[in-house]
Structures are given as structure tokens and as C-alpha cells.
């Protein structure tokens, strides 16, 4: 655990270098609000409806606060009402792009579905030979808000964050993928993939477009881009959700519907949660959006049972029997305490010495239950030390302090509302506040609670009736009176 947090603290600079090593990671550097207000949203709606999409209870409008094109309720709607529907004939999927020359070659080369879609987007947006998908590709702005396309200066605002570390890994992967395409598919088919059209910046743009416009349940192996979904705002307190239904003759077709999850008034912007259960950081990375009215800040902590652990085989067996992998990710937030499962995982990680008897086969079916509560004072102290010291080390890897971020947030006031700078500031502040909160939690636990907690041995004696609720033994009189 400490090694993982310290690795994050020491690697963020390398992540920044990877993320900004090549300047053209985005095509333009315009203000976010200006970019989004210039999107030809009406063209996207027209194309979608020409392909069979239906605006059942929705219409296009501009958000009064951001001046961005959005879909609003065209009439009052109740929970369960369909707001719009998009048939699979209007989706950009691996199946639909196979009908075009580039998509067909990408499919024949065995490329993954997301990559097939991305290459067809480049061809339709920037190439001279267009497919029937070109009108939709043209509606996607060249300057997307995803951090994959942020400028070098904008990425500096994310220094020290997990978001930047993730971006560094993504950019390394996407650049490597592009190089493989250049030496393979592109070289073998120069007429279909001319170097002047299929450049790295355009490839990164297409990748960002696919990532930012694909939503569950059209993701993973079933990934597809469905028009109209990009016009639904991201809100944590959403009023609608996406689902796929069967359609057509004998239900062979599919249709994506946006369904109301509560009553919606006429004129209310339609919204959905782009990342249910996800923190703000991953949502920003994938979609370039953030709900500042209802933020979900935090830090994603990865705990891994170390291979070097003397009892690794026993511990992995215990985890497997409880449907847990060797490595688990827990979301830390500023206002929530660590979960019981996270504490149990940490106690199992630190189980050693005289406590290791609990790993004996006789306890195998019960040991995970034992971990739900404190095992011993030494074990609990090790858990506290690991988390508090690791969190403090990670905090030292950021370029600014919490107080400095709060001061900057106050100084910006309303000038930065909705900007990338505000998003970056809120992301790094949220990560640090989560780390500070977990450090304080375990520091306080170590300082004030270790002597007052009830540990395994005492709990065991109480169940046997050998210790009362006050912690006093009940068997002293046996030796004084009972044995005489």
C-alpha cells in the first residue's frame, strides 16, 4: 500500500512528461464554451432523424448558463417515458463502419471495434472519400474537451494528479498503437490510409471522440456511437438513463432509448450520469465533463496483496473464496470513512507474526469474517501506519497544497466557471482532500482508539463466557473456590 502511494507521488512528473512530450496532442486551444456553442448540433439531429431516430419528448435548445446546445424536454414527462430513440441503423458501430472502405480494411485486419470506428471517423472527417457516416463525423467538433486533447499548459494544471498519470499511460498506448498502424495496415494500404490524412493528431482526435461519445450499454465489445446522446448533459442528479431494447421484425434489431427516471418538466434540460459509481477524475478523462454543481471528488486507491508476502498463497486463497482478486481498487472520498471491506483487506495484508495462526486451515472458512473487525493492536497499528504514511507521501507529490488550491479557487471566482482550468483545479483539490481525510482518519485512530478497540482474542473469550463486557475475566473464582 505504501509503495503504491509513494510510486504515485514519484511518478507524476514522468506522467506529465509523457503527456506533453509531443506538442500536437490537440488541434486547437479555444475556450471550452466557445467551442461547444459552435457545434453544428442541428446537423447531428437532422442526420440522426434521417436514419430513423425519433425525438419523442425532446427538442434542441441552448443551455442558458453555458450557451451550449442541449436537448430539453419538449413536454412534461413521467418516469419511464421515452424521451428519444436511436435505432441501430444510426449507430456508428463495428458493423456499420464495415460498409465503408476504411472500416472494411480495419475489420479485415482484426482491429478492435473501437479502433475500427476511430479510423473511419478520420476518413470521413478529413479524407476526400466520404461514406454515409460523414455527416455525423462532420458534426463532431475538432476541439473536444477531453484531457487527451488538452494543451501543454492546461495539462500543467493537473500536475500530481491520478488523472495526469492515467493520461500519460493512455497517450503512450495510443501513440504506440498509431505507430503499429503506420508500419502495418497503413503501409499495406497506402491509397486508403494516406499519410497526409491519417496523422497522429487526427488519430488522437478520433480516439477522443470515440471515448467521449460512447456510453453504457453501448461500450466494451458492443461499443457504438449513437447520435443525440452527446446532447444530453452530464449530471450526477440525472433525470434520465440509456437502455437498449429489441426492435424490428422478430426483435432482430435494436434501439437505444433515453428513458426518464423521474418526472421532468417541459423545458428542463435532459441529463444522465456519464459515470455512475465513478469519481470525477475518470469521468473527466473519458468524457471531458464535470458536474461542478454536484461534484464527486476523490482518490482511487489500489490495494494489492504483495507477492513477497510469506503467506501469499493462504491469503490469495482467502480472497478467492470471498470473490476478491489479488488487487482491488477502493474510492477514497473526503466525506466518507473507509469501508468495512477495505479495512478487512488491509488487515489481511498486515496479518503476520503471532496473528498468522488465523491463516490455519481450521479457520479458513471464517478468517475473512474475522478481518471485518480489529485483529490485534499490532495489526491495527500497522494498518494505520501504512495508510497514514502512504497518504502523506502521496500528498507530497502534488505541486500545490490544499490551502493554495482553495485560495486559487476563491480568487478565480466566477471567471473560470466551466473552464478546463476550473475542472483541473477541482480534480486535484478533490484528490488531495480525499488523501488528507484518510490520513487524518488513521492518524486519529492510531492516537486515540487503539487501546479502546476490542480485538480478536478478547472477542473470542467473550463468546466463551470467560470475559465480561467490561473486559474482566470470569474464571478467577474457579481457581479460588471451585478447585478446592
Average pLDDT for 451-468: 78
pLDDT at 28 over 90: no
Q: Tell me which residue of 79, 78, 58, 81 sits closest to 70, measured CA to CA.
A: 58
Three cell numbers, residue 342: 477495505
For the segment 332-347, the average pLDDT, to the nearest whole number, is 96
What proportion of the chain, given as a percentage, has pLDDT over 70? 85
Question: H or E segment at 327?
Answer: strand 327-332
Mean pLDDT of 132-161: 91
Average pLDDT (425-452) is 96
For position 14, what pLDDT does the model report?
36
Quick one: CA dihedral 158, 144, 256, 265, positive or negative?
positive
Which neighbouring-strand residues pair with 58?
73
The ranges assigned to domains in the chain are 2-276, 299-463
Q: What is the pLDDT of residue 24?
A: 30
pLDDT at 18: 34
- Strand partners for 205: none
Q: Is 45 exposed, middle or buried (0-12, 13-18, 19+ CB in 10 A)?
A: buried
> Which residues, listed in sequence order, are joined to residue 82 by a DSSP beta bridge?
259
Which helix (H) or strand (E) segment is 253 a member of?
Answer: strand 253-260
What does the mean pLDDT of the chain come to? 87
Per the listing, cell 494489492 goes with: 304
In the CATH hierarchy, which fold is given to the domain comprising 2-276? Answer: set domain protein methyltransferase, domain 1 (3.90.1410)
Cβ within 8 Å of residue 73, ≥6 positions away? 57, 58, 83, 264, 265, 266, 267, 268, 270
d(CA 254, CA 397): 48
Cell of 181: 498502424
Give the pLDDT band (50/70/90) at residue 467: low
Q: Residue 468's Cα: distance from chain center in Å? A: 48
219-220-221 Cα angle (round to 5): 110
SS (H, E, C) 33-81: HHHHHCCCHHHHHHHHHHCCCECCCEEEEECCCCCCEEEEECCCECCCC
- Can you give the pLDDT at residue 202? 97
3-state secondary structure of 309: coil
- pLDDT tens-digit map of 202-225: 999 999 999 999 999 999 989 999
Supply angle C-alpha 3, 21, 188, rounded to 5: 110
The answer to whether residue 413 scores a pLDDT higher than 90 is no
Q: Which of 64-73, 92-101, 234-243 has the lowest mean pLDDT?
A: 64-73
Q: What is the pLDDT of residue 321?
A: 94
Mind listing the pLDDT tens digit for each residue in 281-290? 999 999 999 9
Closest CA to 380 of 328, 455, 302, 310: 455
Region 299-463: CATH code: 3.90.1420.10
Tell me the average pLDDT across 316-330: 96
Amino acid at each position: 500500500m505504501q509503495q503504491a502511494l509513494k510510486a504515485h507521488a514519484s511518478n507524476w512528473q514522468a506522467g506529465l512528461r509523457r503527456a506533453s512530450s509531443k506538442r500536437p496532442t490537440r488541434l486547437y486551444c479555444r475556450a471550452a464554451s466557445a467551442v461547444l456553442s459552435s457545434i453544428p448540433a442541428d446537423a447531428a439531429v437532422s442526420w440522426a432523424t434521417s436514419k430513423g431516430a425519433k425525438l419523442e419528448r425532446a427538442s434542441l435548445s441552448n443551455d442558458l448558463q453555458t450557451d451550449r446546445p442541449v436537448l430539453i424536454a419538449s413536454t412534461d414527462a413521467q418516469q419511464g417515458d421515452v424521451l428519444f430513440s436511436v435505432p441501430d441503423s444510426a449507430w456508428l458501430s463495428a458493423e456499420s463502419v464495415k460498409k465503408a472502405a476504411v472500416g472494411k480494411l480495419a475489420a479485415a485486419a482484426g482491429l478492435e471495434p473501437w479502433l475500427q470506428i476511430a479510423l473511419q471517423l478520420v476518413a470521413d472527417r478529413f479524407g476526400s472519400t466520404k461514406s454515409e457516416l460523414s455527416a455525423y463525423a462532420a458534426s463532431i467538433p475538432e476541439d473536444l474537451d477531453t484531457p487527451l486533447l488538452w494543451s501543454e499548459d492546461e495539462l500543467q494544471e493537473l500536475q500530481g494528479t491520478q488523472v495526469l498519470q492515467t493520461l500519460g499511460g493512455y497517450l503512450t498506448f495510443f501513440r504506440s498503437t498509431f505507430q503499429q498502424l503506420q508500419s502495418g495496415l497503413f503501409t499495406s494500404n497506402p491509397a486508403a490510409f494516406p499519410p497526409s490524412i491519417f496523422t497522429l493528431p487526427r488519430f488522437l482526435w478520433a480516439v477522443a471522440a470515440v471515448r467521449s461519445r460512447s456510453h453504457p450499454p453501448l461500450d466494451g465489445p458492443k461499443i457504438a456511437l449513437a447520435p443525440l446522446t452527446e446532447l444530453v448533459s452530464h449530471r450526477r442528479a440525472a433525470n434520465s438513463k440509456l437502455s437498449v431494447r429489441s426492435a424490428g421484425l422478430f426483435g432482430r434489431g435494436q434501439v437505444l432509448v433515453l428513458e426518464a427516471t423521474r418526472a421532468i418538466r417541459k423545458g428542463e434540460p435532459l441529463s444522465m450520469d456519464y459515470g455512475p459509481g465513478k469519481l470525477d477524475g475518470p469521468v473527466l478523462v473519458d468524457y471531458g465533463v464535470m458536474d461542478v454543481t454536484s461534484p464527486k471528488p476523490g482518490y482511487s486507491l489500489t490495494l494489492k496483496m504483495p507477492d513477497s508476502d510469506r503467506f501469499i498463497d493462504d491469503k490469495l486463497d482467502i480472497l478467492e473464496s470471498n470473490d476478491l482478486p489479488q488487487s482491488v481498487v477502493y474510492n477514497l472520498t473526503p466525506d466518507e470513512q473507509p469501508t468495512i471491506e477495505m479495512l478487512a483487506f488491509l488487515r489481511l495484508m498486515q496479518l503476520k507474526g503471532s496473528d498468522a495462526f488465523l491463516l490455519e486451515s481450521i479457520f479458513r472458512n471464517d478468517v475473512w469474517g474475522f478481518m471485518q473487525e480489529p485483529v490485534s493492536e499490532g495489526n491495527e497499528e500497522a494498518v494505520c501506519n501504512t495508510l497514514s504514511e502512504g497518504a502523506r507521501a502521496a500528498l507530497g507529490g502534488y505541486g500545490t497544497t490544499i490551502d493554495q488550491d482553495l485560495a486559487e479557487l476563491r480568487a478565480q471566482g466566477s471567471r473560470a466557471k466551466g473552464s478546463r482550468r476550473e475542472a483541473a483545479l477541482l480534480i486535484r483539490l478533490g484528490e488531495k482532500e480525499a488523501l488528507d481525510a484518510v490520513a487524518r482518519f488513521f492518524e486519529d485512530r492510531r492516537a486515540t482508539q487503539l487501546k479502546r478497540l476490542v480485538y480478536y482474542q478478547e472477542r473470542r473469550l467473550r463468546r466463551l463466557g470467560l470475559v465480561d463486557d467490561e473486559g474482566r475475566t470470569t474464571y478467577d473464582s474457579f481457581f479460588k473456590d471451585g478447585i478446592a
